[in-house]
Structure 1
Amino acid sequence: MQLKDFSFIAPTVEAELILRAIETVISPEKIVQSLAQTGSVEERKRKLPSQLTVCLVIAMSLWASDSMGTVLKNLVQGLNRQWTRLGQYWKAPSSSSISEARQRLGCRVMSQLFEKIVRPLGTPQTPGAFLGGLRVMAVDGTVLDVPDSTANARVFGYPGSRKGTRAAFPKVRLVLLVEAGTHLIVDALMCPYRIGERVRALKLLRSCGQGMLLMWDRGLHSYRMVHATKNRGCQYLGRVPKNVKFPVEKVLEDGSYLSWIAPDRKSKNKGGTQIQVRVIEYTIDSDDGQKTYRLITSLMDIAVFPALLLANEYHQRWEIENTIDELKTHLNGRKTPIRSLKPREVVQEIYGWLLGHYAVRTLMFQAATHAGISPLRLGFTGTLKVIRRAISDFQDASNEQLPFFSPS
């Protein structure tokens, strides 16, 4: 038996053909715009054009356990079936060609695309997305291991270790702003390990404003955080470390009390003054005994926002921990989550990873809204599996629609 003769092709693959399954989230037009704005459109035809490389960087998180070559094959599997029916064979580029394509693309395209696409989606009808008319947001940080290359170590740095030893991997710090009711990451900043979460969290306030309630954990508490949030017109609900003292000025009917937060020395030198806050203290019984929490908030109306309501709501802040778990365990799950040996490609890869998570979570939100349930009731891992299958299925159209590409 003789197999059919195949001709080798080098198709021009457009983004609109590749990510058709998730184009309601990441549209080809946004990819093209980002490429044009950053001057990343190539002047000559390549086997791995810029649009395909952008899709590949996003797909790296969808098939995190596969090699780059396999990720690329998975990404165009549906189109490959079309070419096979036409007796044409596309030879996947080598790993070195993929690395060169990523280096040509750079990281600004991915950051631009991230800024164009991500936004909060929850509505007042979305369970848990709003409290008293305020959109509930949460901020937190995490660290990611990056490959132990000289370039990565120089830029990102190692965490501290015992004298005479060194940590196994350099680490990049990632600070996230998350919509609590949908788990959507709506803004993110990354930095070297040595830069603390507080510094980057202050910059994330660029995406906060009126009509929002921002929650943070005790590690992010500071006068500057309270002051900056207040200046953005955003309400806040944050946990306070044990060592911070608040004098009781007036006890309110619900058991909370009014107090003041004083400026630190640097803020005071810049003209900072005391800010009135409402303090909520409560104790939770657990298997480990009683645990006391102290929260401060800018919400002063105890009729609309009683202490018990805010105490219950604060624990929704832990939804951001679930979001980080989705990102680092269920979406990626690699022992060393980042593949790239060079800092610029590390940044590029992380933005692709964030876009992959946003795509999965947005499709979950759309499905949940259609079904009239909370997006948090749907399984993240199950949705990811569906999207992996759908990417190739959406590419595999009927014969009447062939060909999708222009062989050269």
Structure 2
Amino acid sequence: MPSAIAEGSQAPLNRLAAPSDRRFGERIRLGVLTEEISPELVDEVVELTGCGERRRRLLPARAVVYFVLALCLFSSSDSAGPPGYRSVLRTLTEKLRHLPGLCVQRLPTSSALTRARQRLGDKPLQALFERRCGTLATTVTPGAFAFGLRLVAWDGTALDVPDTPANAAEFGFTGKGGVNQSGHPQVRLMALTECGTHALVDAAFDAVARFSEHKLARRLLASLRPDMLLLADRNFAGYQLWGLARATGAHLAWRIKKNLVFVPLRVLSDGSYLSIMRTPAENIRHGQARAAGRTLTEPPRGHLVRIIEYTVTIHPQAGPPRTETFRLVTSLLDHRLAPAHQLARAYHQRWEIENGFAELKNRLRPS
């Protein structure tokens, strides 16, 4: 939890009596929050997006940006439900309000905070995310690199959003009868995450009913780089998306479903084999040939890939061990540079994105 530290005698709120009578946020420092997101950066995005105040206000744009960030930071601090606006602001400025020479008169009202948030809008927060997202791992970060490549993963999850008419119209409801179990509109969040640090490299969201993970993944392609190894679960493998992701220069290692047919072209010494991820038209042609009992002699058209098969044994605390077969498709074709057992170990890092979603949904957000 961030602790607030005032610089000099500047007051954190216009309602705090202090000799300089400064507004909230002019020289506010909030421990880890302002260490990670400096006031100078906030001022930059506010100016860039044209959301700065045109006249002197009790709640300047910089202060409102930090207030909105605090709404996320303290969203689960009240076990009975999300805390109110004034409760969050009180927590945010608690240390400041107890400094010598600062006398608390009153906090801004909830309606004043609502209007300030509406004036700010979402553009400064989007610009702030674009400046702060990205990779953080160094070469000594555990689980961050394999084969000289930075391990990243992408996946999607669904999030409830406030049940307002605007959200219902924009995102809609899911589930039976158009309403999910929680009764809230939902968005699908698609994230690209650095495995070693859980840092968000990029993210996109939209309505669950209208946008699949495959559609949203296309919005993240621009953030892939040639020094990355992208990990993904078995819902993503497909000729078109594979080609788009590989065209960025990034290498890929994705899990594939058991019913997908990959005919070995060449079996390698580590047990993996080279094959072709066929085009949709080739899949139809080969399927028709199999049904007719014909054998096609010419090689299929598609992406040259490498297939790795291995088993994972789970030892639960209660019950017998369970074994599951995994199949990976990868663009790392040289088994000498990327042996099968090392690729299987690297793919295990994909679960870090699930841990990142757990941090977001179960810890930062109220249950």
Kept in 1: contact 2:173–2:179 (CA 8 A): no
- SS in structure 1 at match of 2:115: helix
Question: Please, which runs of 5 or more residues in structure 2 have no aligned partner?
Answer: 1-14, 77-82, 285-300, 315-319
Is it true that 1:123 corresponds to 2:138 in the alignment? yes
For normalisation by structure 2, the TM-score amounts to 0.82
- SS in structure 2 at match of 1:135: strand
Matches within 5 A, 1:284-323: 284-286=312-314, 287=320, 289-323=322-356
- SS in structure 2 at match of 1:35: helix
CA distance in 2, matches of 1:256, 1:89: 69
Picking from 126, 139, 154, the partner of 1:111 is 126
Partner of 1:152: 167
Is it true that 1:69 corresponds to 2:86 in the alignment? yes
The total of aligned residue pairs comes to 323
- Give the aligned residue type for 2:34: E
CA distance in 1, matches of 2:102, 2:334: 71
Provide, for residues 104-154 of structure 1, a one-character-per-residue CA deviation record: whole Å limited to 9, x for no partner.
111111010010112211111111111111000010111111222222111
CA distance in 1, matches of 2:180, 2:360: 27
CA distance in 1, matches of 2:233, 2:118: 37
Picking from 208, 220, 242, the partner of 1:193 is 208
Is it true that 1:277 corresponds to 2:305 in the alignment? yes
Is it true that 1:224 corresponds to 2:253 in the alignment? no
CA distance in 2, matches of 1:55, 1:41: 14
Matches within 5 A, 1:332-371: 332=365, 334-335=366-367
The Cα of 1:38 is off from its aligned counterpart by: 0.6
4+ residue runs of structure 1 moved beyond 6 angstroms?
Answer: none
For normalisation by structure 1, the TM-score amounts to 0.74
Kept in 2: contact 1:16–1:23 (CA 8 A): no
- Give the aligned residue type for 1:247: V
Matches within 5 A, 1:23-172: 23-65=34-76, 66-82=83-99, 85-86=100-101, 88-161=103-176, 167=181, 168-172=183-187
CA distance in 2, matches of 1:31, 1:50: 9
Kept in 2: contact 1:173–1:190 (CA 8 A): yes
CA distance in 2, matches of 1:172, 1:292: 32
Question: Please, which runs of 5 or more residues in structure 1 have no aligned partner?
Answer: 1-5, 336-408
Kept in 2: contact 1:19–1:55 (CA 8 A): no
1:146/1:210 Cα in 2 relative to 1: closer, same or farther (>3 Å)? same
Provide, for residues 180-230 of structure 1, a one-character-per-residue CA deviation record: whole Å limited to 9, x for no partner.
011111211111112111111121121111111000001122212210111
Is it true that 1:178 corresponds to 2:211 in the alignment? no
- Give the aligned residue type for 1:206: A
- Give the aligned residue type for 1:316: Q
CA distance in 2, matches of 1:15, 1:132: 47
Partner of 2:297: none
- Give the aligned residue type for 1:232: T
- Give the aligned residue type for 1:146: V
- Give the aligned residue type for 2:215: V
Provide, for residues 4-27 of structure 1, a one-character-per-residue CA deviation record: whole Å limited to 9, x for no partner.
xx9857641236523343433211
1:264/1:16 Cα in 2 relative to 1: closer, same or farther (>3 Å)? farther
- Give the aligned residue type for 1:142: T
Kept in 2: contact 1:8–1:91 (CA 8 A): no
CA distance in 2, matches of 1:157, 1:288: 42
1:150/1:23 Cα in 2 relative to 1: closer, same or farther (>3 Å)? closer
The Cα of 1:73 is off from its aligned counterpart by: 1.2
- Give the aligned residue type for 1:126: T
Give the root-mean-square deviation of aligned CA atoms. Answer: 2.4
1:182/1:15 Cα in 2 relative to 1: closer, same or farther (>3 Å)? farther
- Give the aligned residue type for 2:71: M
1:170/1:218 Cα in 2 relative to 1: closer, same or farther (>3 Å)? same
- Give the aligned residue type for 1:72: L
- SS in structure 1 at match of 2:35: coil
The Cα of 1:90 is off from its aligned counterpart by: 4.0
Structure that is richer in helix per residue: 1
Kept in 1: contact 2:239–2:302 (CA 8 A): no
Kept in 2: contact 1:171–1:192 (CA 8 A): yes
